[in-house]
Amino acid sequence: MAENDARLDAPLLTETRDAAGVVFVTMNRPHAFNALSEGLLDALAETFGRLAADDAVRVVVLAGAGKAFCAGHDLREMRATPSHDYYRRLFDRCTRVMMAIQKMPQPVIARVQGIATAAGCQLVAMCDLAVAAEDARFAVSGVNLGLFCSTPGVALSRNLHRKQAMEMLLTGDMIDAASARERGLVNRVVPAAALDDEVARLAASICAKPAAAVAAGKGLFYRQLEMGIEAAYQLAGQTMACNMMDDSALEGVQAFLDKRAPAWRGE
């Protein structure tokens, strides 16, 4: 059951789907195509922080209610307060949400249907993995309104080749799910009717691995990306040495040598 079933009108719903620790976080503003209002951003930040600290959570799935994943920022709300200070605080708030996804020890999977535009496309890019329905569409379309998608560009440029990212940012054009997969924005594309099953398969594959190894690997992956290659190798070596001393790794290696399935404790 959803944890906040008593408030189904809340901007964000959370639901634990199975005993393995897969938690769905659903943006719940379908009437506004799940646009990122201040209330929704605050709810996302609080929820990601709470889930990050919960050892029972193994995988987080970020979804959108209704016909769209997320249409980006709430433009009506933005236009109602035309002040530089307000906009700076708003984009700082959005950045905290995006970074919370990356800093979580658990992998986050975007479940994408309909459109994912502007900051909604940024959300997809910031998630560790993404599964999209065949009819999903993606764009960083702010330039069409005279507002270059600068903050979405940070995430996009870390997923796509530079010229592909720049083309999307300069034109604001939509791309389809197949193109998003080819360019590296999403991992898998399936018929809409198979979306939940594909997300479940991907989550189950991750949940079958030791949580400590997954958390250490995710943390290392993003830190090393921002380093020079020598520093990245040093950090990776340190991470692997610590990981190797973990009970799960010791058991996994021994099980391989013994030609048996590993018996991980607490997994």
* Total residue length of the chain: 267
From the list 152, 126, 144, 85, the residue with the least C-alpha distance to 222 is: 126
Please indicate, yes or no, whether residues 36 and 168 belong to a single structural domain of this protein: yes
Please indicate, yes or no, whether residues 198 and 227 belong to a single structural domain of this protein: no
User: What pLDDT is attached to residue 191?
Assistant: 98
Q: Is residue 132 part of a domain?
A: yes
Tens digit of each residue's pLDDT (9 = 90 or more) over 113-136: 999 999 999 999 999 999 999 999
User: What pLDDT is attached to residue 266?
Assistant: 57
For residue 144, the enclosing domain spans: 5-207
User: What pLDDT is attached to residue 7?
Assistant: 65
DSSP per-residue letters across 201-247:
HHHHHHHTS-HHHHHHHHHHHHHHHTS-HHHHHHHHHHHHHHHHTSH
Q: Is residue 265 part of a domain?
A: no
CA angle, residues 116, 41, 109, in degrees to nearest 5:
50
Please indicate, yes or no, whether residues 189 and 253 belong to a single structural domain of this protein: no
**Sign of the CA dihedral running 70, 115, 16, 261:** negative
From the list 116, 135, 102, the residue with the least C-alpha distance to 220 is: 102
User: What pLDDT is attached to residue 103?
Assistant: 97
Per-residue pLDDT of the chain (267 residues; tens, 9 = 90+): 345 444 678 999 999 987 789 999 999 999 999 999 999 999 999 999 999 999 999 999 999 999 999 999 999 998 898 899 999 999 999 999 999 999 999 999 999 999 999 999 999 999 999 999 999 999 999 999 999 999 999 999 999 999 999 999 999 999 999 999 999 999 999 999 999 999 999 999 999 999 999 999 999 999 999 988 898 888 888 887 888 788 887 788 788 888 988 887 655
User: What pLDDT is attached to residue 55?
Assistant: 94
3-state secondary structure of 33: coil
Q: Is residue 162 part of a domain?
A: yes
Q: Is residue 266 part of a domain?
A: no
Please identify which residue in the block is written with the tokens 């909604």.
Answer: 120
Cβ atoms of residues 191 and 113 within 8 Å: no
Please indicate, yes or no, whether residues 112 and 225 belong to a single structural domain of this protein: no
From the list 223, 149, 37, 183, the residue with the least C-alpha distance to 175 is: 183
Structure tokens at 177: 């799910």
Q: Is residue 14 part of a domain?
A: yes
Please indicate, yes or no, whether residues 50 and 117 belong to a single structural domain of this protein: yes
Please indicate, yes or no, whether residues 142 and 240 belong to a single structural domain of this protein: no
Q: Is residue 247 part of a domain?
A: yes
Please indicate, yes or no, whether residues 217 and 175 belong to a single structural domain of this protein: no
Please indicate, yes or no, whether residues 163 and 117 belong to a single structural domain of this protein: yes
Residue type, position 115, single letter: I
Please indicate, yes or no, whether residues 105 and 228 belong to a single structural domain of this protein: no
From the list 69, 46, 83, 159, the residue with the least C-alpha distance to 118 is: 69
Residue 110, C-beta contacts closer than 8 angstroms, at least 6 positions apart? 61, 62, 63, 69, 116, 123, 124, 127, 129, 130, 131, 132, 186
pTM to 2 decimal places: 0.93
Query: In degrees rounded to 5, what are phi and psi of residue 133?
Result: -75, 155
Cβ atoms of residues 172 and 141 within 8 Å: yes
Please indicate, yes or no, whether residues 139 and 247 belong to a single structural domain of this protein: no
Tens digit of each residue's pLDDT (9 = 90 or more) over 4-52: 444 678 999 999 987 789 999 999 999 999 999 999 999 999 999 999 9
How many structural domains is the chain composed of?
Answer: 2
C-beta neighbour count of 33 within 10 angstroms: 22
Q: Is residue 34 part of a domain?
A: yes
- Say how far residue 77 (Cα) sits from the centre of its chain: 24
Please indicate, yes or no, whether residues 185 and 238 belong to a single structural domain of this protein: no
